[in-house]
Each structure stands twice: as C-alpha cells, then as structure tokens.
Amino acid sequence: MSAGKMSAGKVLAAVVASLMALVAVGFVFGGGALLWADATQRDDDGYFTSPVVGLAVDSYAITSPAVDLVVKPRGWFPSGQLGNVRFHVAAAEAPVFIGIGPSDAVDNYLSGVAHDRVVRMSYDLKNPVFEVVDGVGTPDLPGLQSFWVASAEGSAPQTLTWDTSDGDWKAVIMNADATPRVAIEMTAGVATDLLVPIAWGLLVIGLIGLSIAAVLLMVAFRQPPSEPRADAESRPVGEGRYPARLEATLDPDVSRWQWLFKWLLAIPHFIVLFFLWLGFMVLTVAAGFSILFTGRYPRSIFDFNVGVLRWTWRVSYYTYGALGSDRYPPFTLAETDYPATFDVEYPEKLSRGLVLIKWWLLAIPQYLIVGFFTTGLIGWATRAGGSGRVAITFGGGLISLLVLVAAFILLFTGRYPRPLFDFVIGLNRWAYRVWAYAALMRDEYPPFHLDQGEFEPVLPQTTPSMLDTDSASPQEGQQ
C-alpha cells in the first residue's frame, strides 16, 4: 500500500474511531460540566436553585406537569437518594398552600375545578406556558386532604422540602383557603448526591472511549517507517542539528487568489485533524507514563504523534500558517513528497525525571514566545466609554499577521516575498520544536533562536537537555 492510500479496513477503522471519539468527547464535556455545576452552582444548603419567578393565575390552583420518578429496576435508590426538592414561596397575596401528591390523586381532587397546568417551562422557571383547565366546581381546603406526601401552608414565606421517591407526582400551589386568584413569587431547587458519581461515570466512559478511538486511529493511519532523507543522515543528532526537523519549499507559482478559499477547501482536513488531535492528547499521556516507568517512548505511539504533527504542518502550510503551496495536502501521517515536511528523530532513551516537569514547567518560557507567534497572547477587557459594558478583544499571532501581509502581496503582485517566507518558516520551525518537546518526544531543550529559511540549518552546537538527570544516551545531553 502506498503512503497516500488506505485500505478499506483502515478507512472503516478511521470512521468508527472518529464517531466513537465524537461521542466520547460529548461524555467528557458532559461529565466536566456536571462537576463544574456541582462545585460552583449550589447554594449554601446544597441546592441548585432557580431565580425568583412570579406566577399569577385567576383560577384556583397552579399544577406542575406529572413527573415520573419510577426507577427500574425498583429499589435501586432508597427514598430520598434520588434527590431532594425544595419550593420556597417568598411572597404571596394570600396565605398559600404548597403540596406534592400522586398525580391521579391530584387530578381527582381538582376534577371539575378551574386551574392552570404548567405545560412548558425553562430550566430557570421563566416564561411558563399554562394550559387552562376549565371547571365550575369549588375545591375543598387543600390542607385537609390526606394524599399529600409533602406540604406547607400559611402566610409567606413558606418552604416545602420533599425527599423524592418512586412514583408519578404533581406539585400544586393554591391559596390556603381554596379561593381563586393565586399570585406568588417563588424559587425551586433540587439537591442530589448522584451528580458527582454520574459526572465521574461520564468522564470515565468518555476517557475509555477516547482511548479506544485513539488506538483505532493509530491503527488506521499507521504507516511503515519511511527511509530517512539523505540530508538527515548527513547531519545526525550531536553534530549540529536539532532532532525535530521542519522544512518547506516555496512553490514558485502560488495562486494570487486561491488563498481566499483555502479555509473552505481544507475543511475535510480540519475534521480529520480534530479527531487525530484527540488521539494525540490521549496517547501523549499514555506515552508519559511509559517514559516515567521505562524511560522509553513507545515507538508506535511516537510514529503516530509525529504523523499528527506532520499532517498538521502540511495543512497549516497549505492554509494560513504559511500559504506556501496550492498543492492539496495528502491524507496520511507518513512522509510524502509534499513541499512541507516535519519529522522528529526517535529517541532510544528519555529522562524519566524530565517527563514530570518539562511540558508544564520548563517549557513555560517557550510557551510565552510561541504564544506570541501563534495567538499573540492577546485577550484583555476594555470598558467602552462610561457605559460600564465590557468589550472582549482577541488578536491573532505574528504568524497570522505576516501570512495576511503575504496574502495581500500575492493578490496584487502575484509574488510571495522570499524574505517574508523565510521568516514565516522560521517562526513555524520554532513553534513545532516546542510542540515536539512539550509532547515529550525529545529531551533536548528547543534553542532560543530563530532559524529562518526553507531547510533546517546546521546549528553551532546541539542544544542540551535542561535538568537532564537520568537520560542514558550521552549524546542527548552533551554539547
């Protein structure tokens, strides 16, 4: 099989992995959202509480929709374990009654009595939609009924708290003396101990799904190792070349106008790369544990992750990371004859100590620099006039700005200025070296200098590892 083609089995594996990753991401985000809500959205009593909402009807009662809390199989959750419900009436025009009872008993009690049934309401109780149930009867006093499982009555404020249990239930709000015209201001809240277990369950399922999807993607896109290039053989590590190699050749006939539509043409790549990067992140964590315990980066994971960076660079080169070619990037992780290439030399041994600190601590100075190249590190709030409104402004990085300049020069002159191209490639080269280092692929610290031009330069000396404590290979840490 050629480097640019995939068998039907691998295509199927890639499709299945992509769908699995999409579902798994939903589980992960859902679990994370639940944990965030549990940590930040409860009140002092542990309830998720709605804002104060005003309800007013001319009939005798307001009833909720029927809520079915039957859990199958029965008995999984004892009474109260599903959660607690709280209704708090802060203000009312008359003494108020709040009750919760079985749906059929509530329906029998209000049979023939005019009341308003809530049929739709947002999560915060705003903008309720009522269904008017006509009737000519007068209800008995609600407080004298025996079917309520929880109730409260009297002058506002009044609070009803109910330990939920299996059943089909309705809530009712009335005047305590069973007169028409019910007008109140209230909040509703719920508390449950199940939210955190559910959240962690979603996270675990999502992470397992992402792991399986990552393995399937790795299998689908795995390619036989390519032969090293002649220029790479002539400049091995330790003899003046950084072990992450980014190179690109400027096409002499880049289109004046095609860059206007490349964002659209590259959408298939963006979709595939989204899932590949999910696999990249999961597998990098797995590789980190392998390095921590064995000092080795699993070769299959290494080849996959390098391939993801290589694919990303080709798409970036084609689009708005350089605009250096109009040739459509191939769908492959392997090295090809595309005019933009990226490779990282496989390390036989990596420092087990550095894996714990280099990606989040040692790389911070590099992140600041690369952030300026790629995002501009711009994100601040400014106040507009004296209105008190806050406007959030975000800006792109230096690479985006320079490529935009190159695009307009191309549009009007048909030429890509060579000095500008060399500078853009140098900025990308610096960024990809840092990403390879942060992805634990090498221990050699990325150099603090800009290497411009199409081809990887011969450096004066190999950049040593920072704080290299137990790397077994002498040439990885020496100058």
Q: For residue 293, name the pLDDT band (cuts at 50, 70, 90).
A: very high
Same domain, 283 and 174: no
The pLDDT of residue 445 is above 90: yes
Same domain, 187 and 234: no
Same domain, 146 and 238: no
What are the two backbone dihedrals, phi and then psi, of residue 397, each rounded to the nearest 5 degrees? Answer: -90, 180
Residue-wise pLDDT for 203-253, tens only, equals 999 888 888 877 777 776 665 554 544 444 444 444 567 899 999 999 999
161 belongs to a structural domain: yes
412 belongs to a structural domain: yes
Is residue 340 a contact partner of residue 458, using CB atoms and an 8 Å limit? Answer: no
Q: Higher confidence at residue 472 or residue 114?
A: 114
Q: How many independent structural domains does the chain possess?
A: 2
Same domain, 187 and 245: no
Provide the residue type at 90 as one letter.
A
Least confident of 125-134, 239-248, 442-451, 457-466: 457-466
> Which residues form the domain of 154?
48-192
Q: Higher confidence at residue 5 or residue 477?
A: 5
Q: For residue 444, name the pLDDT band (cuts at 50, 70, 90).
A: very high
Is residue 123 a contact partner of residue 145, using CB atoms and an 8 Å limit? Answer: no
Same domain, 179 and 93: yes
Q: For residue 195, name the pLDDT band (cuts at 50, 70, 90).
A: confident
Closest CA to 304 of 274, 338, 333, 340: 333
Residue-averaged pLDDT of the chain: 83
Residues whose CB is less than 8 angstroms from the CB of residue 297 and which lie 6 or more positions away in sequence, other chains included: 287, 290, 291, 346, 347, 350, 440, 441
**Residue 306, Cα to own-chain centre: how many angstroms?**
23
Provide the residue type at 111 as one letter.
S
Same domain, 242 and 127: no
218 belongs to a structural domain: no
Question: What local confidence, expressed as pLDDT, does residue 121 receive?
Answer: 73
The pLDDT of residue 172 is above 60: yes
Same domain, 237 and 188: no
Same domain, 243 and 154: no
Tell me how long the chain is: 479
Same domain, 160 and 248: no
Considering the entire predicted model, what is its pTM?
0.62
Q: Dihedral sign, CA of 457, 461, 462, 465? A: negative
Residue-wise pLDDT for 56-111, tens only, equals 999 999 999 888 876 544 455 544 456 889 999 999 999 999 999 999 999 999 99
Give the pLDDT mean for 158-173: 91
The torsion of the CA quartet 152, 153, 157, 162, rounded to 10 degrees, works out to 10
Give the pLDDT mean for 117-131: 78
The pLDDT of residue 371 is above 60: yes
* CB neighbourhood size of 202 (10 A): 21
214 belongs to a structural domain: no
Cα radius of gyration (the chain): 32
364 belongs to a structural domain: yes
Least confident of 113-127, 302-316, 395-409: 113-127
Question: What local confidence, expressed as pLDDT, does residue 310 receive?
Answer: 96
**Portion of the chain with pLDDT greater than 70, in percent:** 80
Least confident of 141-145, 357-361, 393-397, 415-419: 393-397
Question: What local confidence, expressed as pLDDT, does residue 147 receive?
Answer: 96
Helix, strand, coil share of the chain (percent; to 5): 40, 20, 40
Most confidently predicted of 216-220, 281-285, 456-460: 281-285
The pLDDT of residue 35 is above 80: yes
Helices (H), 358-439: 364-374, 398-413, 418-438
Q: Dihedral sign, CA of 62, 64, 65, 66? A: negative
